[in-house]
A and B are shown apart, each in its own frame.
Chain A
Amino acid sequence: MKSGSNLEQLLARGEFVVTGELGPPMGAGLAAIEKKAEFLRGHVDAINVTDNQTAVVRMSSVSVASHLVRLGLEPVMQMTCRDRNRIAIQSDLLGASALGIKNCLCLAGDHQSFSRAGKLLGHPGAKNVYDLDSLHLLMTLKTMRDENRFLGGDPIEEGMPCRMFIGAAWTPLAEPIPFRVIRLGKKSRAGADFVQTQGVFDVAQFAEQMKKVRNRGIHEQTAILAGIIVPKTAGMLKYMNKSVAGVTVPEALIKRFEGKKGPEATAEGIKVTAELINQVREIEGVRGVHLMAIEWEHKIPEIVTAAGLLPRPKIES
């Protein structure tokens, strides 16, 4: 085992895995985290903890992931290259590993200009770092884990290994689409044990990309978890289709939400999510799903029930 995380064990056993997501609070309390976490307990195998997503200041992913470990849950700590250089990144990884965090997802991170949105002022004037890119971050984790040394070459102290199950993000359907498979291959070679994709709505197009992935044998090196964004309204789908990189929503799917509001739209959202899960599950090489409920963590139990993903497999400790 590389890190021995639940996620790694379940994938090794050939289980179809389910991961969820938890956005840390814009404050210094643990109650909000615990509330969200309880909706996910028993319904997903691991929980992504976002790292200042959209460049908005939130509680750090290391500390929230560490708290999830204390609660007996399994985090996938997200780490971006936007806010830390290679020194801070490796230092945080040592701490995370020591605190029992066993999965890390390597990302470039949203640009700081994203932080001013809606009612938020954000920090668009912040200086970004990007000392490493996301592939370099994967290489860093792999070097620390497999060679027991830091990126610069110094050894990690004996008896204190830094072991992570290494994750990456993949946007399969953003242009330039043919290059996305090449870049996934690079991430796989750089060290990605698993990838979680951007939200998939166009299953047919995703299946085409997966065929190319299989032709290159990437799926044998890296477990691919299809990203599923829970749709809420027709407006949300239209917005994502127009503005979110790599998200294309088929017209027919948007139509299913038109004229629906409140509980009716919610029910349709859960139904569509369950359908999407079962459609991507049929694609060879898809080893699980990553559910992005976006502040709808409380709907996760219903969604996984509707998708027939319960009960989640147990881990022998």
Chain B
Amino acid sequence: MIIAERKPFDELFEMIRPYDRILVLGCGGCVTVCCSGGEKETGLLAEELRLACATHGLTKTFFEGTLTRQCDPEYMEEIKTPLDQVDAILTLACGVGCNFVTERIKERRVVVLPAVNTTFYGATEEQGVWAEKCVGCGNCILHLTGGLCPMARCAKNISNGPCGGSNRGKCEIRQEIDCIWAKIIERMTELGRLDELEKIEPPRDWSKTRHGGPRKIVREDLKL
């Protein structure tokens, strides 16, 4: 899933300061699962903002709502607050939701603001701990690396690791980060496939990543 973290409250408070009527809009997708932008967090944020405005003597109106997902057109209709009564939408969805809502809302003077920092594609390692596992590079090589990704999980995205900075299974940049190449070697050994790592992986074609410009997939078989 996409992992996001709520921005610090002070930053959000400054962000909404110019607007009087604000819709705080949650998302029922990834940000609900990673507890940063679901219905619960949306309610809490709206309440925190109301309180802070009362403390600072500011008169603002906050509306609340949570869409099933903010990245699909069919759920845009779930916005119940009439947008002609709103100056800004503060979305707790990931960056995708913020972009998509911006592009889709008919009330073009409404500003859409991000309440979270969208951080990575990750998994829940344990309650309250998420870690990056994929970068969406567009050209998956996990079958070559024992199912563990050096593009996402090596600080230098090295294709032929480990680098000289790998030390006792840890990354040179921070001791708490596992050297993913040490893990890949461990896994390939476990599978009896270590000899496959003798092969030199050629330079990557980054055009399939964001370096090739914004990406789009068109599936003709699914189009209506």
Which residues of A come within 8 Å of B, CB atoms?
81-82, 86, 108-111, 113-114, 128, 130-136, 139-140, 151, 169-171, 174-176, 179, 182-183, 185-186, 189-190, 198, 244-246
Contacts and interface: CB of A to CB of B under 8 A. Distances in A.
Contacts of A183: 160, 162
Interface in B196-213: 197-198, 200-204, 206
Given A151-B203, A185-B198, A111 B165 contact: yes
Given A174-B164, A175-B182, A245-B167, A128 B203 contact: no
Main secondary structure of the interface of B (DSSP, over half): loop
A182 B163 contact: no
Interface stretch (B21-29, B62-70, B134-142, B168-176): B168-176
A83 to B, nearest CB: 12
A132 B155 CA distance: 13
Contacts of A82: 156
19 contacts: A108-B156, A110-B172, A111-B155, A114-B173, A130-B157, A131-B206, A133-B158, A134-B158, A135-B160, A136-B160, A140-B203, A151-B203, A176-B169, A182-B197, A183-B160, A185-B198, A244-B167, A245-B165, A245-B166
Interface in B83-98: none
B159 interface: yes
A244 B185 CA distance: 21
A175 B203 contact: no
A214 to B, nearest CB: 18
Q: What is the size category of the interface that chain B forms with chain A?
A: 20 to 34
B200 A189 contact: yes
A140 B200 CA distance: 13
B182 A176 contact: yes
A174 B211 CA distance: 33
Contacts of A190: 200
A113 B155 CA distance: 10
Most chain B CB within 10 A, of A139, A175, A189, is at A175
Nearest to A182: B198
Contacts of A136: 159-160, 202-203
Interface in B170-224: 172-174, 182, 185-186, 194, 197-198, 200-204, 206
A86 B203 contact: yes
Contact of B162 (A114, A131, A179): A179
B165 A169 contact: no
B198 A134 contact: no
Contacts of B157: 130, 133
In order of increasing CB-CB distance, the 10 nearest A-B pairs are A171-B164, A245-B167, A135-B160, A133-B158, A136-B203, A130-B156, A108-B163, A111-B173, A113-B173, A245-B165
Nearest to A246: B164
Contacts of B165: 108, 110-111, 245
B164 A169 contact: yes
A238 to B, nearest CB: 16
Contacts of B155: 111
Contact of B166 (A110, A174, A185): A174
Nearest to B203: A136
Contacts of A169: 164
Nearest to A169: B164
A141 to B, nearest CB: 13
B40 to A, nearest CB: 33
A108 B198 contact: no
B31 to A, nearest CB: 26
A125 to B, nearest CB: 14
Contact of B167 (A131, A174, A189): A174
Given A133-B159, A176-B162, A111 B172 contact: yes
Nearest to B159: A133
Most chain A CB within 10 A, of B160, B169, B182, is at B160
A111 B71 CA distance: 35
Nearest to B160: A135
A113 to B, nearest CB: 5
A133 B172 contact: no
Contacts of B169: 175-176
B203 A130 contact: no
Contacts of A110: 165, 172
Contacts of A175: 166-169, 182
Given A139-B203, A179-B162, A186-B198, A111 B156 contact: yes
Nearest to B186: A176
